[in-house]
């Protein structure tokens, strides 16, 4: 690493898998100068998921780190219960029956400008379990045949939040992280390309997910389902994944433009308490 760059002099990067992800140690995210942040961003674009160990962050420090990438998003559905509307407590109490993000998804793609990325900071974790899986959607695109690539090029899909928010979901009866379920709630819907080009690396990747993608443009849900199911499965192949195991003080940053992820709910009877921010992205193209 460059000599004299604040915050990263002892940075060590260890890949988590052959497809994506890296564990980062020996770095203080709160102390990064501009050159140090530029180095972190280069590593982020290369590995797509960065798991930073041994961080000490309150909500203000977490927001300050996120804002180095861009403005923060106030989530349209999850309800903040602290002092900052940008910070969501991703919390599961011992008696909860569900956890946030259990199914494979890309964050908040119902928005016209979905998040560039998300950062999740661990305060309390179970003695075992509660890991998060990530899957590389650029790798998924690379593995498709030329024929399906030609078919998908130029296609667009409708994304909305009807599966994850609103009175019909009833999530608030199952989990501690509160969701908008009031009668004033209305769906948020956007149209996005099925194949997204990363704005910084130029790589193509699949951009459909089980939580938000409803159908292809100009097609019904029934007509869209067979091909969408194939693409979901293609993007969740085990060889595309990495797995993050949490410790108190771990901050994980992921690139929402080219990944899907899923929280593993395998720690019944234990508490897991995290804080999450989302960074504003661009309009997918």
Q: How many CB atoms lie within 10 A of CB 4?
A: 9
Catalytic member of 159, 175, 275, 276: 276
Task: Tell me the residue length of the chain.
Answer: 285
* Residue 229: active-site member: no
Active site residue 107: yes
Tokens of 199: 């704005």
Q: Which of 47, 105, 180, 192 is catalytic?
A: 105
Q: Examine the residue annotation and report whether 276 is marked as an active-site residue of this protein.
A: yes
**Residue 80 DSSP symbol:** P
Evaluate whether 250 touches 132 at the Cβ level (below 8 Å): no
Long-range contacts formed by 196-200: CB under 8 A, 24+ apart: 196/257, 196/258, 196/284, 196/285, 197/285, 198/138, 198/257, 198/258, 199/257, 199/282, 199/285, 200/45
CA–CA gap between residue 27 and residue 7 (Å, rounded): 6
Q: From the candidates 47, 107, 196, 257, give the one annotated as an active-site residue.
A: 107
Active-site residue, from 180, 261, 272, 275: 261
Q: Which two tokens stand for residue 156?
A: 């667009």
Residues carrying an active site annotation: 105, 107, 261, 276
């Amino acid at each position: 690493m460059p000599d004299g760059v604040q915050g990263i002099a002892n940075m060590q990067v260890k890949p988590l898998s052959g497809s994506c992800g890296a564990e980062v140690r020996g770095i203080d995210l709160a102390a990064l100068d501009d050159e140090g942040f530029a180095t972190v961003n280069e590593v982020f674009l290369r590995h797509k998921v960065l798991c930073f160990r041994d961080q000490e962050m309150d909500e203000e420090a977490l927001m300050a780190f996120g804002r180095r990438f861009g403005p923060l998003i106030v989530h349209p559905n999850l309800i903040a219960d602290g002092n900052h509307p940008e910070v969501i407590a991703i919390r599961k109490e011992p008696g909860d029956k569900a956890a946030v993000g259990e199914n494979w998804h890309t964050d908040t793609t119902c928005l016209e400008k979905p998040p560039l990325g998300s950062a999740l900071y661990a305060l309390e974790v179970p003695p075992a379990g509660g890991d998060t899986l990530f899957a590389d959607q650029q790798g998924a695109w690379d593995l498709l045949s030329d024929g399906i690539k030609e078919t998908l090029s130029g296609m667009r899909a409708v994304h909305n939040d009807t599966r994850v928010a609103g009175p019909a979901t009833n999530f608030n009866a199952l989990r501690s992280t509160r969701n908008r379920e009031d009668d004033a709630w209305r769906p948020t819907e956007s149209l996005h390309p099925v194949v997204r080009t990363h704005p910084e690396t130029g790589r193509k990747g699949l951009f459909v997910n089980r939580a938000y993608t409803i159908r292809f443009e100009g097609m019904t849900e029934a007509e869209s389902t067979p091909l969408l199911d194939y693409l979901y499965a293609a993007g969740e192949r085990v060889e595309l994944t990495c797995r993050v195991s949490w410790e108190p003080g771990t901050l994980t940053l992921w690139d929402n433009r080219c990944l899907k992820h899923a929280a593993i709910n395998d720690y019944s009877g234990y508490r897991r308490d995290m804080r999450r921010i989302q960074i504003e992205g661009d309009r997918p193209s």
